[in-house]
Structures are given as structure tokens and as C-alpha cells.
Amino acid sequence: MLNLFKFWGGVKPPSHKTESNNKPISVAPMPSHLVVPLHQSIGGTPKPVVKAGDKVLKGQLIGEADGWISAAVHAPTSGTVREVAMHVRPHPSGLDSLCVVIDPDGRDAWIEHAPFDLASAAPADVFAHLQRSGVVGLGGAGFPAHGKLTPAPNVAMDELIINGAECEPYITCDDLLMRERAAEIVRGTALFRDLLQPKKVLIGIEDNKPEAVAAMQAAVTALGENFTVVAVPTRYPAGGAKQLIRVLTGKEVPGSMRSTAEMGVQVFNVATAYTAWRAVAHGEPVISRIVTLTGNVAEPHNVEVLIGTPMDELLKLARPHPDTDGILMGGPMMGFLVPNRQVPVVKTTNCLIAHSERLFPPKAPEMPCIRCGSCAQVCPHELQPFEMYWYARAKNFGKTQEYNIFDCIECGCCSYVCPSRIPLVQYFRFAKSEIWAREREKKAADEAKARFEFKQFREEREKAEKAEKLARAAAAQAAKKAAEAAAAAAEPAAGEAPAADARTAPAAASAADSEKAAKMATIQAAMERAKAQREAAQPRNTGELTPEQQRDLAEIEARRQAAGISEPPAATQEPKAE
């Protein structure tokens, strides 16, 4: 038996898994429309390759990966592209991002697809295939899978870990996947093993899922693999990548390390292994996933659902109780309330929890920190949350960094136990994003300064050059004059020369004047033209406006004129992002 290690801290919230894990996975019916966000994984935003009106087939590429760390996006079913437009994304910010909206035609017709020829493929081809198939980490962050399949250059790959811990309360999608589709997970694991060549393969599952452990064990034995299926003690956040690594191998990956591969370990979620295998063995891109529907609902269960399904349509399948007042995406420890109910399911949506005050009572008022240390007792990264909180609250961000705020994984254990009900994690998220913003600002300021200084330097140089040129010209002039004078002196009519000089000077001046006047005239003309153009230009987006809107516009226009700003009405385009 494998020797297991312990990680510091952790909590044991009520698991609420039995509600949804006793029914088999069902298939969700076709939704009325699908909103597929292009940006569903960490890294570059895929470029749309379809436009409104296009007919697409199930599995057809609609967003092309942009760069190495990025993964493709596909049409989840066949139908017509209604639009490629900005829609709210399931993200706590509630901001829009570019989405492809598809009206299904009901045929659900697949595009031609074929198994990937693994035997004759080089690793690079496999990576490209996984990227093309949109395989990303389905556990949480959504890191493109192929990006994690290369060992670090000079560290031997010791362990490959498949994460089936699923430590968050309520969520059971991985549990059901392991119970029902263990063989494909094991095959996907074998694929990863072949690419990474680790010494050992460990499959970690929390010991509150005995059926999943048994199913995985049976599949491993049946397929003759030498993977070790390990039941790890149930304790949140045992399913955090770094915690699972610690439990299974005893290694502690520091927060500052960018990739666990530098410690010779790599972790994949079970669902990632499953989709990777589907992509290779059947040529199917990631267009659906298993989602747990639970919380304040009458029929909690797991469904296989197309990416892009609007959440409210999906949640209806579980028959939410009438007092449901929101939808939580993810688990109750790290998930978030979606900004609006129509947001679509994305690749990282593992669970939808119907939120109600009965289930999640509103938080009691926040009290001052009594430094009881409970938070430090449970922090799996052994931080001192109350110190970070103290400084984050005071917006003393430098100090929060001294207390290693960037090692915080936002697991929420500290908030969970805090007797003073302080939303500690929220303070940490706030501090982190402020620090990032400041770094961005600092960078921009440094750049601006450098550019400003360069411009000044350039102007100085130009001035110097001009002065030099002038001096040279003057010297040449003087020399010429001297020569002329000498010549004139040699001539008999010497008295005329200065007079001629006096005559040429005003002539030159008037020439300069006329040049200036001409320039002014052109500018004037251009201004006229521009004005005419501006007046002629029909504002692009004011074609079909309601009377109210037109009235509003007129008012704004009037106000503008009153304020003396006459902006070109057509110039409302956004600043170029990035």
C-alpha cells in the first residue's frame, strides 16, 4: 500500500454529495439556442472562423486556437450561426466576451470525423490534435491540456497524477464519470502516460466515493495497466492540485513555481483524461461535458450537456424550488454566483447549484478579527490569513505580499472557519487584483516615461542638428558674401552691392509669407471639407432607433453643443483592445 502524506489544515464541510450521486448520468435535451464563448480556457482568445448566417455541423471548428496556450472551440450541434457577438460570460465580473450563438436545426448532424492515428503520430502531432480538439483541464482553471503534457527540460517526470478527488461539497460529476466511464478515463490516462513517460501513475480519489474507487480499480485491472488507484482521506481541499500532490507523493510545490512539472509531477482531472481519449479514439472535440445539477432543486442529478447551453434552461431539468434566487457555478467553497441566469455552460462548468437563502443563509455581520488563529490552523498553504486580511483591509498591499498573499489558492477554508464571519478570501482576491492592476499601471508609467524622455532627447537632438545646419548655412552665406564683396570690390561699381542685398531680403520674407498663407489656406480648406464630411456623415448606429432613443440623442447633441464639444458623431468605436 502506498504511503500517504498529510497536508496542513483543511476543513470538513458537510459534503451534500448523496443527493445527486445516486442517479445515472442522463443526457440533456437540445436547448433552444447555444451561446458558445470563444474564450473558454486560459491563454489566448480563439479567433472566430464562422460568421452570422453560416451553417455549422456538430463538431465543426468555430474558434481557432490563438497561440500555443489556447485551445480550439467547436459547434456543439448542427445549425445556423445566429450571430457572433458579445454576451455575458459565466465569470464573476459579469462582463461580456465574444460568443458564437447557434440556433440548432434539430438534426444534430456530425461533421466528418475519424479516430486519430496514434500509432504513427509524433508527440507534437498529438499535442496539435488535442489543441485542435479543444481539450482543456476540466477540473477548474481550464488550462489547455497539451500545454501540460511536455516534461520540464531537465527534471525527470516521476509521477503522473489523475485527480478524481472532487473535494468540493455538492459536486458529483467526476464521481459519476468514474463510475460509468472508467475504462475511457484509464485509456486517456494511458495516453498521458505515453506522452509524459512518468515512473508512476497514481489515481487519487477521496475515500467518500467507494463506488468510483472500485470502478476505476476494476478498469485498471481489466486493461492491464499498472496504475495505482488510491483512496485519499476526505478533507477539503484534497482535490487541489498541490494538495493532492502532497498527499500522494509528499512533495510540496511552492506557490511561486509556475508548473508542477518542475517538481517532476503533473496532475490531470479525470474528465480531462476522458475527453482526451474521446478526441483521440473517436476524433470528437470537446463539445459537451457532465454537469451536476443540485442545490435547491427537487431532482438533483448529473447530466451530459452541450457546451453553450443557457444555465436557466439546464437547471430546469432538475426542477428548482420556487425560492431559488440565483445560480452558483462550481462548488460552494470556490464557486461564484453567475451574473445572470442565461449565461452558458462552458468547459469548466462542473456543477450548477440552485442558490437559496434556506440552503446558504446570508452571512452574519462581519465582526472584527479576534486573532483566534482558526484561519491559520486550516489554511492548506500554511499562510497567516488574519495578517494578510489586516493589511488587505488597510490597502497596504506591499505587506500582504510579505505575508505571501500570492500563495493563497483562494480555497476558502479560512472564511469557512472564521468566527468573526470575515469574508477573508474576498479581501485576498481584492488585494491580488489591486496588486496586478498596480503592476500594469507601473509598467505603463515606466513605458510612458521612457517614451517621453526619448522624445525630449530626440527634440534636443533635432534642435541641435537644426542649429548646426543653420550655423553652417550662415557660415556658407557669410563666405559667399565675403567672396561677393571681394568680387564687388574688385569691380568698379562697388556701391550697388549692399542695395541689392537689401532688396533680396524682403523678397525672401514675402516668399515665406506666401508659403505660410498657402498652407493656412489648405488647412482651412481641409477644415471646411472635414466639416462638410462630418455633417454629411450619417451616424452608423442610428439607423433604426426608437423615438425615445432619438430624442435622447438629440438632447445629448444639444448638451454637447452647449458645452462646446462637437464630437464627430460617428466616432464611437472602442479603443483598440490590446
Partner 1 sequence: MDILTAIAIMALGAVVLGAALGYAAIKFKVEGDPLVEKIEAILPQTQCGQCGYPGCKPYAEAIAKGECDINLCPPGGMEGVQRLADLLGREVKPLEAEEKPKQVAIIDENTCIGCTLCIQACPVDAIVGAAKQMHTIIAQQCTGCELCLPPCPVECIHMAAVGETLDNWKWKYPVVGIKAVPLKDAA
Partner 2 sequence: MIFAPSPFLLKDASVSQVMTQVCVALIPGIIAYAWLVGPAILVQLVIATFAALLAEAFMLKLRGKPLALFLSDGSAIVTAWLIALTFPPLAPWWMVFTGTVFAIVFAKHIYGGLGQNPFNPAMVAFAVCIVSFPAMMSQWPAVGLELRLLDQIDIIFGLAPRVDALSSATPLDAMKTALRMGDSNFDIAQLLANQDIYGNFAGRGWEWVATGYLIGGLWLWHRRIISWQVPVAFIGSLTLLSGALWLYNPAAFANPVFHLFSGGTLLGAFFIATDPVSGCTTPRGKLIFGAGAGLLAYVIRVFGGYPDGVAFAVLLMNLSAPVIDLLTQPAIFGMKDKK
**Which is nearer to partner 1, 260 or 400 (by Cβ)?**
400
If you search the block for the grid coordinates 436557466, which residue do you land on? 312
Shortest distance (Å) from residue 372 CB to partner 1 = 18
Q: Does 379 bind ligand SF4 (CB under 6 A)?
A: yes
Cα-trace Rg, the chain: 34
**What's the min distance (Å) between Cβ of 522 and partner 2?**
57
**535 is a contact residue toward partner 1 (CB under 8 A):** no
Backbone φ and ψ for 432, nearest 5 degrees, come out as -65, -45
For partner 1, the binding residues in 163-222 under the rule CB under 8 A are none
SS (H, E, C) 310-349: EHHHHHHCCCECCCCCEEEECCCCCCEECCCCCCECCCCC
Residue (514 or 566) nearer to partner 1, CB: 566
Segment holding 384, helix H or strand E = none
- Residue whose CB is less far from partner 2, 395 or 540: 395
What are 84's strand-pairing partners?
A: 100
The correct pick among 365, 398, 543, 547 for binding partner 1 (CB under 8 A) is 365
Distance between CA atoms of 321 and 337, rounded to whole angstroms? 17
Q: Does 351 bind ligand SF4 (CB under 6 A)?
A: no
What whole-number distance in Å separates Cα of residue 359 and Cα of residue 355? 7
Nearer to partner 2, 48 or 423 (CB): 423
328 binds, among partner 1, ligand SF4, partner 2, none (CB under 5 to 8 A by kind): partner 2
Least Å from the CB of residue 440 to partner 1: 7
- Interface with ligand SF4, residue 410, by CB under 6 A: yes
CB 96 within 8 A of CB 85: no
**Residue 404 contact, options partner 1, ligand SF4, partner 2, none, Cβ 5-8 Å cut-off depending on partner type:** partner 2
- Rounded CA-CA distance 268/277 in Å is 13
What minimum distance in Å lies between the beta carbon of 447 and ligand SF4?
11
The one among 444, 470, 476, 558 contacting partner 1 by CB under 8 A: 444
**The entry of ligand SF4, partner 1, partner 2, none that residue 375 binds, CB within 5 to 8 Å by partner kind:** ligand SF4
Under a CB-based contact definition with an 8 Å cutoff, are residues 182 and 175 in contact? no
| Distance, C-alpha 360 to centroid of its chain | 28
| Cβ proximity of 170 and 301 under 8 Å | no
Q: Measure CA of the first residue to CA of the last residue in the chain; give whole Å.
A: 53
* Residue 115 CA from chain centroid, whole number: 30
∠ CA 278-284-288, nearest 5°, is 85
Contact pattern from residue 427 through residue 466 relative to ligand SF4, giving x for each residue in contact according to CB under 6 A and a dash for the rest = -x--------------------------------------
Which residues would be at the binding site for partner 1 (CB under 8 A)? 39, 89, 91-93, 95, 97, 362-368, 423, 426-427, 429-430, 432-434, 436-437, 440-441, 444-449, 451-452, 454-455, 523, 526-527, 530-531, 533-534, 537, 566-568, 570-571, 573-578
